[in-house]
């Protein structure tokens, strides 16, 4: 009997050791999984040495489960309007949300990792939200269908610039005769230079460098994503990531500085394309400026750029500029219809830049004969109340009865406020208040017909090469 008990004890001990060995093996194997390594790197970076790796399960409304945060543990929430506990990751990015294998999890990523690329934006940015309602496409009001609008805007097609270039090269009789026909973008034109030797550099340097429908663009030192991300996803000057997600290589081009979307777009983001250098029609090449220093466009981080750095970034040497053109960010003047297209203008993608322009100096400053136009808000459902920046920046609230700017093209300017005879412009990036000088009643000799920047620069020019000229 004692011999049988001994055998049973030995068998139990052997089974226990085998089970313990299996558990240790599984833990050892798990410890070698990439997701555990990612988490340990994240814990070390955040000085959380006591934490141990574990699978992170995110349960979304409707019961859908995602494991993406198991690897992307430190990633920043994309925006307050897209909370991760409601949207998750795959509703925008695609991929396999239940796999912890890197290759399997990333199969089917939308846009090859950029879900804001225009070839997929209709189903990502424009797809349904967690409640099934359409996001930025498929809405009853065309004003809300931003994906379709921006894909046909000049920022996407560059139709006006391409028409000018083709005209300069003798390829069409009129700079404004450029027609897309059934094509979506200028880059899809068959043989834009009719098979000439300049065709390849023309595509690479003119079509592929900056227009939003070109995908990733830039030279060897800069790389930024196209589509919606080109504006709303802020980059540092190197085009590399510097947030908390340890899975994103710090030396890999094409990533935002952080995993965040914003509509508070600083001038440094615009300058990733604009004012970067000069094109040569003769050689079809682009030359980057050598006088630009590195600036950080990430909101809320680092010191605000100085006046001199703003002036340097905004203006190519020898150009003219006024005080407001340096103090303000690009979006403080340019309206959403200028940048993203106007749904009421069927010919917008075929027009020249000057025809697409919505804002003039008189819209904020008025003229000698009249103060700037304004409009009193009367509809509590007016879309101007929906702008998330109003709350983000902590501006004085808008309400029915508020008086705001009103352009000659019919755009309301909720960041330009009227109180009596005083006009204040609030920055869409920082919320800073700028008193607006009014021409009416001043000693200004401006003609109402002269609304170009050049006309105002005749007097209001701060550049070193300024020479006053008579009107």
Q: Give CA separation, 176 vs 160, 186, 337, 351, in Å.
A: 7, 14, 20, 7
User: What does the pLDDT look like over 187-234, one tens digit per residue?
Assistant: 555 445 555 666 666 666 666 666 677 644 334 344 577 889 989 999
Check whether residue 372 and residue 335 sit in a common domain.
Answer: no
Task: Look at residue 116 and tell me if it is in a domain.
Answer: no
The SS3 call for residue 87 is: helix
Check whether residue 255 and residue 372 sit in a common domain.
Answer: no
Distance CA(289)–CA(443), nearest Å, equals: 39
Task: Look at residue 449 and tell me if it is in a domain.
Answer: yes
Domain end among 108, 124, 158 = 108
Note the pLDDT of residue 17: 57
Note the pLDDT of residue 97: 95
Check whether residue 312 and residue 404 sit in a common domain.
Answer: no
Task: Look at residue 21 and tell me if it is in a domain.
Answer: no
Task: Look at residue 5 and tell me if it is in a domain.
Answer: no
Task: Look at residue 198 and tell me if it is in a domain.
Answer: yes
Task: Look at residue 212 and tell me if it is in a domain.
Answer: yes
User: What does the pLDDT look like over 399-437, one tens digit per residue?
Assistant: 999 999 999 888 999 999 999 889 999 999 999 999 999
The SS3 call for residue 28 is: helix
Distance CA(304)–CA(183), nearest Å, equals: 42
Distance CA(262)–CA(299), nearest Å, equals: 9
Check whether residue 259 and residue 165 sit in a common domain.
Answer: yes
Task: List the one residue out of 242, 218, 244 whose CA is nearest residue 42.
Answer: 244
**CA angle, residues 81, 335, 320, in degrees to nearest 5:** 125
Name the one residue in this structure whose structure tokens are 């929430």.
77
Q: What dihedral angle (degrees, nearest 10) is formed by the CA atoms of 304, 305, 308, 309?
A: 180
Check whether residue 377 and residue 446 sit in a common domain.
Answer: yes
Report the pLDDT averaged over residues 148-171.
Answer: 74
As given in the structure block, the two tokens for residue 371 are 């103060």
Note the pLDDT of residue 470: 38
Note the pLDDT of residue 219: 41
User: What does the pLDDT look like over 343-386, one tens digit per residue?
Assistant: 776 544 444 556 677 888 899 999 988 999 999 999 999 999 98
Check whether residue 295 and residue 410 sit in a common domain.
Answer: no
Is beta strand 374-376 parallel, antiparallel or unpaired with respect to 285-288?
unpaired
Q: What is the DSSP letter of 233?
A: B
Domain end among 63, 90, 108 = 108
pLDDT band at 390 (very low <50, low <70, confident <90, very high): very high
Check whether residue 191 and residue 261 sit in a common domain.
Answer: yes
Chain-centre distance for alpha carbon 411: 22
Task: Look at residue 68 and tell me if it is in a domain.
Answer: yes
The SS3 call for residue 415 is: strand
Find the domain containing 53 and state its range: 26-108
Check whether residue 417 and residue 290 sit in a common domain.
Answer: no
Distance CA(225)–CA(215), nearest Å, equals: 6
Q: Give CA separation, 210 vs 158, 194, 231, 272, in Å.
A: 9, 22, 11, 9
Helix (H) or strand (E) holding 31: helix 2-31
Distance CA(327)–CA(329), nearest Å, equals: 7
Check whether residue 91 and residue 193 sit in a common domain.
Answer: no
pLDDT band at 109 (very low <50, low <70, confident <90, very high): very high
Check whether residue 307 and residue 278 sit in a common domain.
Answer: yes
Task: Look at residue 197 and tell me if it is in a domain.
Answer: yes
185 C-beta neighbours (distance < 10 Å), count: 21
User: Where does 124-203 show beta strands of DSSP type E?
Assistant: none
Distance CA(210)–CA(289), nearest Å, equals: 15
Check whether residue 203 and residue 70 sit in a common domain.
Answer: no
Check whether residue 376 and residue 409 sit in a common domain.
Answer: yes
As given in the structure block, the two tokens for residue 208 are 């592929």
CB 222 within 8 A of CB 237: yes
262 C-beta neighbours (distance < 10 Å), count: 23
User: What does the pLDDT look like over 181-192, one tens digit per residue?
Assistant: 555 555 555 445
In the chain, how many domains are there? 3
Note the pLDDT of residue 215: 47
Domain end among 62, 83, 108 = 108
As given in the structure block, the two tokens for residue 108 are 């089917």
């Amino acid at each position: 009997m004692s011999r049988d008990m001994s055998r049973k004890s030995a068998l139990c001990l052997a089974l226990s050791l085998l089970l313990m060995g299996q558990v240790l093996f599984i833990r050892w194997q798990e410890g070698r999984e990439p997701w555990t390594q990612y988490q340990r790197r994240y814990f070390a970076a955040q000085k959380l040495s006591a934490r141990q790796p574990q699978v992170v399960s995110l349960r979304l409304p409707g019961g859908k489960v995602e494991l993406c945060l198991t690897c992307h543990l430190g990633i920043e929430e994309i925006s307050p309007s897209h909370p991760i506990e409601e949207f998750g990751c795959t509703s925008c990015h695609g991929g396999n949300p239940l796999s912890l294998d890197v290759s399997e999890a990333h199969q089917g990523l939308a846009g090859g990792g950029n879900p804001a690329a225009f070839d997929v934006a209709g189903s990502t940015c424009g797809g349904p939200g967690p409640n099934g309602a359409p996001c930025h496409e498929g809405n009853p009001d065309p004003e809300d269908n931003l994906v379709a609008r921006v894909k046909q805007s000049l920022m996407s097609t560059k139709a006006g610039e391409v028409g000018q270039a083709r005209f300069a090269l003798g390829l069409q009789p009129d700079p404004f005769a450029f027609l897309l026909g059934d094509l979506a973008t200028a880059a899809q034109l068959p043989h834009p230079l009719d098979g000439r030797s300049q065709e390849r550099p023309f595509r690479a340097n003119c079509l592929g460098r900056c227009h939003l429908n070109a995908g990733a663009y830039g030279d060897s030192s800069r790389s930024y994503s196209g589509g919606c991300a080109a504006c709303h996803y802020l980059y540092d000057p190197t085009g590399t990531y510097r947030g908390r997600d340890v899975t994103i290589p710090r030396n890999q081009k094409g990533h935002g500085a952080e995993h965040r979307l914003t509509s508070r777009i600083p001038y440094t983001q615009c300058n990733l394309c604009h004012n970067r250098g000069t094109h040569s029609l003769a050689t079809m090449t682009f030359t980057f400026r050598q006088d630009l220093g590195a600036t950080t466009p990430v909101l809320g981080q680092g010191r605000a750029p100085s006046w001199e750095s703003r002036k340097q970034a905004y203006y190519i040497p020898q150009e003219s500029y006024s005080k407001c053109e340096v103090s303000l960010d690009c979006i403080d003047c340019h309206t959403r219809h200028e940048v993203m297209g106007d749904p009421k203008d069927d010919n917008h993608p075929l027009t020249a830049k000057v025809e697409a322009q919505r804002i003039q100096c008189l819209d904020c400053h008025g003229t000698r004969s009249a103060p700037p136009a304004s409009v009193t808000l009367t509809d509590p459902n007016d879309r101007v109340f929906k702008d998330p920046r109003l709350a983000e920046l902590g501006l004085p609230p808008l309400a029915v009865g508020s008086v705001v700017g009103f352009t000659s093209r019919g755009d309301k300017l909720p960041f330009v406020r009227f109180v009596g005879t005083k006009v204040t412009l609030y920055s869409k990036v920082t919320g800073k208040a700028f008193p607006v000088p009014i021409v009416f009643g001043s000693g200004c000799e401006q003609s109402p017909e002269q609304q170009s920047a050049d006309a105002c620069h005749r007097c209001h020019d701060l550049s070193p090469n300024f020479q006053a000229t008579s009107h």
